[in-house]
Structure 1
């Protein structure tokens, strides 16, 4: 169980760092995230404050995942963040909004079902990590096992971070459906 907990911590922490970093990569990226928050349903007067809170939450969760013994607080912060993102995306898709995904910085890619699936995967990772940490998963004892867990987690994180690029590469979701692309 310790290797699975380690993998959850590394995967989720890497995604959160990339997400916060992308949003903070210059003023343009942050403004794009504020605009995306408005397009996803945040009231215009609160969009900037919500965007700041999201970035602070992502950074706090990532730091806790890296520093705390089991990362419990990081998982506990990430779960509602991910749930809120997913609810906002589902609402925007149902309204037919052409909001862009500024999840990892400036992007012209409109949100779609793949973003819901991606978030569902991340919610599952966070929930499993929280459960494993709360159950007292042991610290990995073998270096080879820990390296394998970290390697798999980093690869998984790169797939998550590259969702839009991979979808474009494989032309996934090019036909709009009832919930959008």
Structure 2
């Protein structure tokens, strides 16, 4: 279970690192992300203004927790809460017919659709598995196993951040 936890943490850390870095890489990127939340009409205006710094801050804190071995369980729990909220929020916007753009990783990947809900739900499941793996881990991991699990997870995480491109390649005619 320790390697499952390490792989999940590596995947989630890569996703949150690229999300934070993408949004915070420049003022223009951050402003574009913040402006994209204006299309989320079910959020009251006050929350739409507060959401960008709160989301980037929560993602950054989650990333740090995922990277600190002693904070693995809280990191996975925070990741689960954020990703479940993202999946529910996107689902709500889609049900309301809102055309919300995905700037999840700091670039415009076009309008969100049901595949964004699937991605966030799968990532939330990964966070739950990481939490369970951390809670059920017995004994230390070997050095080589740790590297393989973390690097493998991070590589998968990097692929997940290109979800929209992968979805287009695999499912578009």
TM-score after normalising by structure 2: 0.90
Q: Deviations over 1:91-143 (max 9, x none)?
A: 11111111100100130510011111111110011001111212244331251
- How many residues were matched structurally? 172
Q: Relative contact order (alpha carbons < 8 A, sep ≥ 6): 1 or 2 greater?
A: 2
**Worse-matched range after superposition: 7-16 or 28-37:** 28-37
User: Which one has the bigger helix percentage?
Assistant: 2
Aligned residue number for residue 140 of structure 2: 139
Aligned residue number for residue 28 of structure 2: 28
Q: Deviations over 1:43-98 (max 9, x none)?
A: 22222311111111111111111113251111121111111111110011111111
TM-score after normalising by structure 1: 0.86
The runs of at least 4 consecutive aligned structure 1 residues that moved more than 4 Å come to: none
Q: Distance in 1 between matches of 2:172 and 2:117?
A: 12
Q: Measure how far apart 1:3 and its partner are.
A: 0.9
Segments of 5+ residues of structure 1 without an aligned counterpart are 175-181
Segments of 5+ residues of structure 2 without an aligned counterpart are none
Specify whether residues 125 and 108 from structure 1 end up closer, same or farther in structure 2 by C-alpha distance, changes over 3 A only.
closer
Q: Is the CA contact (8 Å cut-off) linking 2:10 and 2:151 kept in structure 1?
A: no
Q: CA RMSD in A?
A: 1.8
Q: Is the CA contact (8 Å cut-off) linking 2:109 and 2:164 kept in structure 1?
A: no
